[in-house]
Amino acid sequence: MSRKGWLLFIAISVFWGIPYLFIKIAVRELDPTVVVFARVGIAAVVLVPVALFRGTWQQLRQQWRAIVVLSCVQIVGPFLLISYGEQHIASSLTSLLIAADPLLVALLALRFDPSERVSGLRLVGLFIGMGGVVALLGLDVGGDRQGLLGAGLVLLAAAGYAVAALLVKRPPVATLPLLGVVAAECAVLAVMRLPNRVPDLEVMVSLLVLGLICTALAYLTFYALVSEVGASRGTVFTYVNPVVSVFLGVTLLGEPLNAAMVAGFILILVGSWLSTGGALPLPLRHLIRRGLQSEAGREAGENRQDAFH
């Protein structure tokens, strides 16, 4: 991997490893709905101009229904569920439960994506990963109703991400430019809920970090990473960012780190790796390939324009 690739890899591991810390800080004072819509509103300020500049916005006009549906399962649903969930559980536990997303993609693909077959060692990995989720729920939050509620909401968020990964394979979403879709989702959601008062400085900083770094800059960095190093290596960060989240939660928020969390994370990590054949599930790989193709097409168009001039 090139030096640029390593820098992008480290950056995205941090950008998508820190949001759980700042969500935890923000929901202490603000309603989760305010946190989510402030986050996407801030991100839209960056992503919409970028999408307009790259010429991806015009392709979305006729597909607004698909964008609304995708925004519900990819952004607004998961963001809200995570924010509400973090009112009841630690940010570090939240990140570990979200790490089960590849398992849920593989599980849903059994029913809804015939091209993704799980058998043999991959099926064993699926059971191992689910055992890790059970370990987290049973050993870490077992007996705590509020904790189980929070963990359940976060797992629903992970399921939303998994559904979104399957939707991007199907028309009309499969034909849309990914950056434009994300920008449109943020723009639509941004006007739905705004704070009715000015939060304190710590919360304001958290909202800015969530919007600018964890959403806008993170998506731009992600597409740059997979363009630089390819899909297989470019997605390894999905196994790294929970470590960043746990480290920040334990060191900055004083959250507990116990044997159940470590064991659960190891089982989820191993299970995810085995169940996806040593890579991300096909729907996620398909999403990344489309991102690469869209970027290559855009660059080819720019080169043709430069040659004409």
Nearest alpha carbon to residue 199 among 29, 7, 8:
29
CA separation for the pair 224, 15 (Å, rounded): 14
Distances (CA, A) of 147 to 19, 27, 32, 238, 256: 20, 16, 17, 24, 14
What pLDDT shows up at residue 281?
A: 47
User: Cβ of 88: how many Cβ atoms within 10 Å?
Assistant: 20
Encoding tokens for residue 254? Answer: 């004083």
Enumerate long-range contacts of 232-236, CB under 8 Å, 24 or more apart.
232/279, 232/285, 233/1, 233/5, 233/9, 234/9, 234/288, 235/279, 235/280, 235/284, 235/285, 235/288, 236/9
Distances (CA, A) of 205 to 26, 35, 45, 80, 201: 9, 12, 16, 19, 6
Encoding tokens for residue 77? Answer: 């649903």
pTM (2 d.p.): 0.79
DSSP code at position 216: I
Encoding tokens for residue 97? Answer: 């439960």
From first to last of its 309 residues, the chain has per-residue pLDDT tens of 678 888 888 898 899 999 999 999 999 998 898 888 888 888 888 887 887 777 666 666 666 777 777 778 888 889 999 999 999 999 999 998 998 887 887 788 777 776 666 667 777 887 888 888 888 887 667 667 888 899 999 999 999 988 887 777 666 555 555 555 666 666 655 555 555 666 789 999 999 999 999 988 998 888 788 777 765 555 666 778 888 999 999 999 999 888 888 888 888 888 877 776 665 444 445 555 555 555 555 555 555 554 444
C-beta separation of 209 from 35 below 8 A: no
| Helix boundaries (H) for 76-198 | 77-85, 91-98, 101-112, 121-135, 145-167, 178-190
CA separation for the pair 303, 298 (Å, rounded): 9
H or E element, residue 56 = none
What pLDDT shows up at residue 245?
A: 92
C-beta separation of 217 from 271 below 8 A: no
DSSP structure string for 285-305: HHHHHHHHHHHHHHHHHHHHH
**Exposed, middle or buried, 275 (CB in 10 Å: 0-12/13-18/19+)?**
buried
Encoding tokens for residue 274? Answer: 């085995």
The string of pLDDT tens digits covering residues 73-130 is 888 889 999 999 999 999 999 998 998 887 887 788 777 776 666 667 777 887 888 8
Distances (CA, A) of 184 to 6, 29, 106: 30, 28, 28
Mean pLDDT of the chain: 78
CA separation for the pair 90, 255 (Å, rounded): 7
CA separation for the pair 272, 118 (Å, rounded): 12
What pLDDT shows up at residue 232?
A: 53
Backbone angles phi, psi at 253, to 5 degrees: -105, -5
Q: Where are the chain's structural domains? A: 3-113+150-257+280-303
What pLDDT shows up at residue 56?
A: 65
User: Cβ of 201: how many Cβ atoms within 10 Å?
Assistant: 8
